[in-house]
Structure 1
Amino acid sequence: MKKTVLAGALSIACFTGGFGLQANAQVNTQVNVQEVDVASIIHPKQAVAAVIPLQSMTYQDLYKKLLISKLAIDERGIVTTKNSITAKFSVDPTWSAQEQKEFKELYGNAMQIKFTPSGNSFKGEVLEKGKWLPLDKEDLNDIIKEMFEDEPIDLKPGGYFTDSIGHWAESYIQVLYQFDIINGTSATTFNPNGKVTRGQLASMIFRAAGLDVKEDYEGPASYKDLANFPGAKEVAILEEYGLLDIFDGANFEPNTPATREEMAYVTAIYLEGMGYDVSKVSKNNPFTDKSKMRQETVEAIGLLKQLGVIDGVNGQFNPKGNLTRAEFSKILTLSLVLLDDEE
């Protein structure tokens, strides 16, 4: 009999604060707009990770912290290049007309703060009236303190993947890396456009579910080709929970690239197994190529589409296409956010 409730579930509460960076600004209307304190425009209750004194925070740590912030995940307010990070804080529509006017006179529709490497740390600039102006050490310290309130989220070593800087999925990649769900292909590379194998898909879902081989393993999987696969016990546990029913052959083929419909099925079952109430969500599948989907994946794909976790191109999902590491990083991160929101 298959198990129906996932044991040892990941504490999604760790995302509280991890996605806590807010761009709520408070402009001091009593002073000349030229004297607006940049640090005061960032909400004092922001939270991403533990405060690190500016003098000991590296540029790479700043990069990683910003990428797991709400500003990056929800608002897409972080822009990175090989040599800089720019944080964009938008006008708050709840401000008074005068506050919005003064903000826009200085910063336009968004205040931009650019960070660049400087020795073992970094320096900062703010864009005012079209010109980049340097921030002195005191202002920069104030901004960093406002951005990173004391929260129990410690950065893992590594994770500065040079081949993912500026990639559309870099925030999703960083979130999963920080929560031990994914790894790079080396200490400095992630290979975002590489294919996800069935074995890798199983490993990432296993970690996201907070399962433990020592506690949850009850016996080998039914698949016949796992003798030399390092994740054989993980596969066995996931099979017991019913997450791998889409792989219904005699062999699991762990090194075969996973298809998009296989990923969708596994992710949908994962969400349900983690307690997400899928009964309240439409499972309507709007993709024009659903006739090419395996019948058991049609509703799973529809569910993820309605939840905003997946999308297609020109109305098609391409169910038999392969999944990239970047694509699944986004899909799994958004799934975790859904679980956090429901909790």
Structure 2
Amino acid sequence: MKKTILAGALSIACFTGGFGIQAYAKGNEDVVNIIHPKQVVAATNQVQSMSYQDVYKMLLLSKLGFDNEDDLTLVTTKNSITVKISLKAIMETYADGTNLFPEGEKALQENLAEFKKLFGDAIQMRITQSGNSFTVEIFTAGKWQAASKEDMNDLITVFNRADVNLRPGGYFTDAIGHWAESYIQVLYQAGIVTGTTDTTFNPNGQVTRGQLAAMIFRASGLDVNEDYEGPASYKDMQGFWGAKEVAILQEYGLLEIFDGEYFEPNKPATREEMAHVTASYLEAMDFNVASANKNNTFSDKNQMRNEAVEAIGLLQQLGIIEGANGKFNPKANLTRAQFSKILTLTLMMASEE
């Protein structure tokens, strides 16, 4: 019988309220708390005293706190961030019953017509890097106008969905403007992913089997000291840095797709291997896999390993994975950016269960 990863044992990936994290990186980092998507909370860090890099990271986390990706949009470049939030989204936030700032709702209602006159249907703000600091502009009355950092701090109360003690680092220059940059930042802040260097992530690089196991292990909240019961059955674990993590995941039944004598930790993981491990992770997290829809509609289903067909179907039906032109391409290698999105969505799905 497969072991179940008990929720009480988790040290990371504890998602609450639809989207929130309480995470300890390796058990001893500051807690990251990404709040419920329907709340607006003023950042405890005064924005005017933050670095440009930390503002960038904070806004990436905030973006994923919205149900509709069009509610808050970010356009990031090497030295600027343009952020836009719709007034409609702000009103919906106040209307959902979780408003922590009733005076803010009242002020917005009373001045909505004036806000629309000033901002149109959305508030837009542009933050431009200046050394380690930044300047702020707000689009109002049809043009960009300079704003103080104090003004920005007030607006962040509306824009921001995160009250976060940011981890040092995580400003990956090669992920700026990448479609996966928010997912990468969430997992970095949760201690699940690291960069290839202090300033690079290599989002389009391949994920090895060993790296796949390591990221799933960190997301599980398991502990190598408490959960290790003996070596894995694979014959090539000697000298591998993640040997204990692999052994523990094998014990929990998460690595059954790797059914040979050798694990080959440095071999690139395929998309179908990732899907099987991820689905096994959901099952180990006590997600109700048995009653879930596993209908696999990809046109290249006949190219998948038999044991991966339902796993891929499960993740497809849950909206965690998607293909291209109706195909999943199961034998293709997995990129670091792709898995950052997939793992983030998986953790969110596990939280709902």
- What TM-score bracket applies, with the shorter chain setting the length? 0.7 to 0.9
Quote the residue 2:101 is aligned against. Answer: none
The range that moved more, 110-119 or 233-242, is 110-119
Quote the residue 1:51 is aligned against. Answer: 44
**In 2: Cα distance, 1:286 partner to 1:102 partner:** 49
**In 2: Cα distance, 1:200 partner to 1:99 partner:** 52
Mapped pair 1:136 → 2:148: yes
- TM-score w.r.t. the length of structure 1 is 0.85
Mapped pair 1:18 → 2:14: no
**In 2: Cα distance, 1:86 partner to 1:64 partner:** 13
- Is the 8 Å Cα contact of residues 173 and 200 (structure 2) preserved in structure 1? yes
CA deviation vs aligned residue, 1:55-88 (integer Å, no higher than 9, x gap): 4210101111111114566444222111111221
Q: 1:73 to 1:195 in 2, by over 3 A?
A: farther
CA deviation vs aligned residue, 1:164-192 (integer Å, no higher than 9, x gap): 00000000000000000000000000000
CA deviation vs aligned residue, 1:108-141 (integer Å, no higher than 9, x gap): 4422111112343222111124311111243123
Quote the residue 1:112 is aligned against. Answer: 124
- Structure 1, unpaired ranges of 5+: 23-44
- Is the 8 Å Cα contact of residues 6 and 241 (structure 1) preserved in structure 2? no
- Is the 8 Å Cα contact of residues 5 and 273 (structure 1) preserved in structure 2? yes
**In 1: Cα distance, 2:88 partner to 2:169 partner:** 35
The range that moved more, 86-95 or 205-214, is 86-95
- Is the 8 Å Cα contact of residues 19 and 68 (structure 1) preserved in structure 2? no
Quote the residue 1:82 is aligned against. Answer: 78
- TM-score w.r.t. the length of structure 2 is 0.83
- Is the 8 Å Cα contact of residues 20 and 69 (structure 1) preserved in structure 2? no
- Is the 8 Å Cα contact of residues 61 and 161 (structure 2) preserved in structure 1? no
Q: Identity across aligned pairs (percent)?
A: 60
Q: 1:335 to 1:308 in 2, by over 3 A?
A: same
**In 1: Cα distance, 2:140 partner to 2:40 partner:** 23
- Is the 8 Å Cα contact of residues 63 and 161 (structure 2) preserved in structure 1? no
Match for residue 298 of structure 1 among 288, 309, 313: 309
**In 1: Cα distance, 2:243 partner to 2:35 partner:** 34
The range that moved more, 223-232 or 106-115, is 106-115
Partner SS, residue 117 of structure 1: strand
**In 2: Cα distance, 1:146 partner to 1:329 partner:** 27
**In 2: Cα distance, 1:293 partner to 1:15 partner:** 34
Partner SS, residue 286 of structure 1: coil
Mapped pair 1:323 → 2:329: no
The range that moved more, 95-104 or 211-220, is 95-104
**In 2: Cα distance, 1:233 partner to 1:69 partner:** 35
Quote the residue 1:35 is aligned against. Answer: none
**In 2: Cα distance, 1:73 partner to 1:204 partner:** 25
Amino acid at match of 2:134: F
**In 1: Cα distance, 2:47 partner to 2:314 partner:** 44
Amino acid at match of 2:128: T
Partner SS, residue 278 of structure 1: coil
Q: 1:286 to 1:19 in 2, by over 3 A?
A: farther
CA deviation vs aligned residue, 1:298-342 (integer Å, no higher than 9, x gap): 111011011110000000000000000000000000011112233
- Is the 8 Å Cα contact of residues 66 and 72 (structure 1) preserved in structure 2? no
Quote the residue 1:60 is aligned against. Answer: 53
Task: Tell me the CA shift for residue 4 of structure 1.
Answer: 3.4
CA deviation vs aligned residue, 1:84-118 (integer Å, no higher than 9, x gap): 11221113176899987655543344221111123
Quote the residue 1:230 is aligned against. Answer: 241
- Is the 8 Å Cα contact of residues 72 and 78 (structure 1) preserved in structure 2? no
**In 2: Cα distance, 1:266 partner to 1:150 partner:** 30
CA deviation vs aligned residue, 1:244-300 (integer Å, no higher than 9, x gap): 000000000000000000000000110121122224431100100000000111111
Amino acid at match of 2:177: G
**In 2: Cα distance, 1:60 partner to 1:179 partner:** 17
Q: How many residues align?
A: 318
Over aligned residue pairs, what C-alpha RMSD do you find?
A: 2.6
Quote the residue 1:275 is aligned against. Answer: 286
- Structure 2, unpaired ranges of 5+: 23-32, 93-107
